[in-house]
């Protein structure tokens, strides 16, 4: 029978906590690095653009035009700048427990969806916006105004930092049509290119 002092058991417990904390930091770093890789592939990630510069870019754009940039607030990594019916607005993206979600008022936060990447988050809201655009175009009675003077956020058209390549635009179009790239009758290197950015926005 062996005895263990409380001091050594505390050391072991402290080591476990440190190891768990180290794994979490490592996991966060790899998730954020992966999110950055996806964002750089989009063409609509503007990096260190300021809020004022984003406002200028959006000033004459149609409602639903958007871009993603680095957040100027320390507690957030990224911000979506978008044109709304009330003018340009900014919406921060929160990163917590390995997931990305839109920052919002405390009462709404639990209802907001979380995503593994920023591009997946944007893609989700673009699809919702395009669906609501199609519904709005269909003949129906006029909708009631939003409560409390709130403005509906639409994300429909990204502002690119430069004209995207034809290959990238083709990749987006193919991803809009199928989620089963592996079944396409194309060379493996093209499949690799398509799956390297598996989003449709």
DSSP letter string, 187-198: -HHHHHHHHHT-
CA 133 vs. chain centroid, Å, equals 20
Which is it for strands 99-102 and 157-158: parallel, antiparallel or unpaired?
unpaired
Q: Reduced to 3 states, what is the DSSP secondary structure of residue 91?
A: strand
Domain ranges (residues) in the chain: 18-135+150-160, 163-201
- The encoded tokens of residue 8 equal 């050594």
CATH 3.60.20.10 is right for the domain spanning 18-135+150-160: no
Angstrom distance (rounded) from CA 124 to CA 155: 10
- The encoded tokens of residue 146 equal 């939003």
Q: What is the DSSP code (8-state) at residue 149?
A: G
Helix (H) or strand (E) holding 32: helix 6-42
- Output phi, psi for 72, to 5 deg: -85, -5
Q: What is the DSSP code (8-state) at residue 35?
A: H
Reading across the β-sheet that carries 157-158, which strands appear in turn?
Answer: 99-102, 87-96, 78-84, 65-70, 157-158
CATH number of the domain at 163-201, please? Answer: 1.10.750.20
- pLDDT tens for the chain, 201 residues long, are 444 444 444 444 555 454 545 555 568 888 889 999 999 999 999 999 999 999 999 999 999 999 999 999 888 999 999 999 889 999 999 998 899 999 875 445 557 889 999 999 999 999 988 887 666 555 544 333 344 445 577 899 999 999 999 999 999 999 888 878 888 899 999 989 988 888 888
Query: What pLDDT, on a 0 to 100 scale, did the predictor assign at position 108?
Result: 56
Angstrom distance (rounded) from CA 134 to CA 52: 31
List the beta strands (DSSP E) in 58-138: 65-70, 78-84, 87-96, 99-102
Q: Reduced to 3 states, what is the DSSP secondary structure of residue 66?
A: strand
Cross-strand bridge partners of residue 95: 100
Average pLDDT of the chain, as a whole number: 80
């Amino acid at each position: 029978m062996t005895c263990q002092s409380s001091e050594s058991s505390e050391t072991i417990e402290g080591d476990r906590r440190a190891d768990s904390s180290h794994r979490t930091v490592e996991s966060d770093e790899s998730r954020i690095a992966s999110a950055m890789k996806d964002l750089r592939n989009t063409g609509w990630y503007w990096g260190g653009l300021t809020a004022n510069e984003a406002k200028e870019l959006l000033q004459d754009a149609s409602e639903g035009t958007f871009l993603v940039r680095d957040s100027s607030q320390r507690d957030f990594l990224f911000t979506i700048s978008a044109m709304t019916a009330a003018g340009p607005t900014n919406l921060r993206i929160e990163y917590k427990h390995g997931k990305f979600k839109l920052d919002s008022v405390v009462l709404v936060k639990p209802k907001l969806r979380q995503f593994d990447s920023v591009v997946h988050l944007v893609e989700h809201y673009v699809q919702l916006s395009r669906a609501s655009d199609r519904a709005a175009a269909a003949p129906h009675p006029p909708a009631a105004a939003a409560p409390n003077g709130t403005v509906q956020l639409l994300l429909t058209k990204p502002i690119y930092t430069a004209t995207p390549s034809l290959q990238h635009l083709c990749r987006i179009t193919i991803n809009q049509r199928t989620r089963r790239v592996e079944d396409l009758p194309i060379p493996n290197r093209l499949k690799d290119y398509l799956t390297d950015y598996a989003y449709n926005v």
